[in-house]
Structure 1
């Protein structure tokens, strides 16, 4: 009898342990952050909604590592509204992908608290305001994709702190000012796409420091000055597009042939100019 009772107790203990682990959940703080993301982006209108009564590990686009939220992939899911400040409570998040939605508002400063983040993709939305300097806190970032939004202001010099960054894609926005010299210190950078903004000033010869660069796209800005000869030293460069700026020549035939639009420039009065080749 004692033996049977012990066996029953062991059975119930194992049963409840398995059940608890099956429904193991994230902390109250992280759960609340997810709920606020759902509410502030009108989750009841998403293509793939969350069943808020179900375990979080069943929620569409949410990946857990143990009991920590490690990734959110909600691209093309009809998110509207804005990103809440509470997003910063997801301290263990490594990937945040909200690509191709209808998110408005500004980038919350609390993004700077996501210090484990490796991939950030908020492209193809309607996000406005400037890129907060706190982005420099995210030292593990490998990819930053903010293209096709309504971002304004200048590129923060703090981007230069992202020493692991390989992809920086912020094209088709309203970014103005000069390219910060700190960008030339991101030696792992492979893709730099800043085209179709309002950037001005010169492209510095320090571009030669980006020896891993494979794609450089700066077309359709207001950049000026001489085209730096140092571009010739970028041996891995496969895709170059710096046309439709106000750069001056002369420029080598080799660089002209690499450029998608063959170094077609615009004069200050908007006249098309073909640069002299050497």
Structure 2
């Protein structure tokens, strides 16, 4: 009798373990696994195990709040279901082999504070739905094959501290809407196909420490960007940048 009760208790505990996240969130994680060749990841997931045991997944209060799968050999596309992970605050898929476009459903992640998709082979444009990420502080999309322009909707990212789009094929002008992002400390746009003028108003960004725009098709001139009492000197011809390292 005691053995039966013990077995039932174990089953109950196991059931609770699997109930740690919603059905939608677990389904989204499984969709990610399937669409990025999960069986070949460096650190793979045992889909029969509790979600809290899956590598790189952090759960708090029964919600998936972080996914960190950097350097993990993800190959394939990001599924639209990624947008069902609505409690995410941190998402890092940097340094993998993700292809295809950034799904528009990324805009559903309204609690996101860090988004790192850098050093993959993503194509297409930055989705306008990114405007929904008003809590985003870090946006790293560098070293991909992204095209199109910097979306004007970027102005909605009022909490943004770092914007890195380095080493893509992004064209057009640096949008005037970037002036709304007064919390920016780093703007890294080097090695793209940007044209036109660098907005002079960036000179007055009080927190800006690093601004890299070398290797574009911008009007070439020396610009002094003021970082409080510490100027960052930018040479758009040679691409050299002196940054405040405090």
TM-score in terms of structure 2 length = 0.89
* 1:25–1:244 Cα change, 3 Å: same
Structure 1 residue 27: Cα displacement: 1.2
Instruction: Tell which has more relative contact order, 1 or 2 (C-alpha 8 A, sep 6+).
Output: 2
Among 42, 50, 61, the alignment partner of 1:55 is 50
Quote how far apart the aligned CAs of 1:67 are: 1.4
Indicate the residue corresponding to 1:201 in structure 2: 196
Q: CA deviation at 1:113?
A: 0.7
Q: Which runs of 4+ in 1 moved over 2 A?
A: 10-25, 225-229, 233-246
Q: Distance in 2 between matches of 1:239 and 1:226?
A: 14
The question of whether the paired residues in 1 share the 8 Å contact of 2:145 and 2:169 is answered with: yes
- For 1:17-36, list aligned pairs within 5 A: 18-36=13-31
Q: 1:141 aligns with which of 136, 139, 150?
A: 136
User: Could you list the runs of 5+ residues in structure 1 that have no partner in the other structure?
Assistant: 1-9, 247-257, 261-278
Aligned partner of 1:100 in structure 2 is 95
Change (3 A) 1:33 1:196: same
Q: What is the aligned partner in structure 1 of residue 227 from structure 2?
A: 234
Task: Answer with 1 or 2: which has the greater Rg.
Answer: 1
Alpha carbons 1:203, 1:227 under 8 Å: kept: no
User: Structure 1 residues 184 and 61 mapped into 2: Cα distance closer, same or farther (>3 Å)?
Assistant: same
Q: Does 1:122 align with 2:117?
A: yes
Q: How far apart in 2 are the matches of 1:140 and 1:238?
A: 28
Whether 2:69 is the aligned partner of 1:74: answer: yes
Distance 2:194 2:111 in 1: 30
Number of residue pairs matched by the alignment:
242
The answer to whether the Cα contact below 8 Å between 1:73 and 1:98 also exists between their aligned partners in 2 is yes
DSSP 3-state at the match of 1:213: coil
Supply the distance in 1 between the matched residues of 2:200 and 2:118 (Cα, whole angstroms).
Answer: 29
The separation in 2 between residues aligned to 1:259 and 1:55, in whole angstroms, is 48
Cα deviation for residue 184 of structure 1 reads: 1.5
Please state how far the C-alpha of 1:20 moved relative to its aligned partner. 4.4
Query: Equivalent residue of 1:160, what SS?
Result: helix
Does the 8 A contact of 1:163 with 1:185 survive in 2? yes
Identify if the C-alpha distance between structure 1 residues 239 and 37 changes in structure 2 by more than 3 Å, giving closer, same or farther: farther
Is the Cα contact below 8 Å between 2:220 and 2:236 reproduced in 1?
Answer: no
Q: Does 1:191 align with 2:191?
A: no
1:5 corresponding residue in structure 2 = none
| CA gap 1:209/1:184 in 2 versus in 1, 3 angstroms | farther
In 1: Cα distance, 2:229 partner to 2:141 partner = 24
Residue 21 of structure 1 deviates from its aligned partner by 3.9
Q: Paired residue for 1:88, among 83, 86, 90?
A: 83
CA distance in 1, matches of 2:229, 2:73: 38
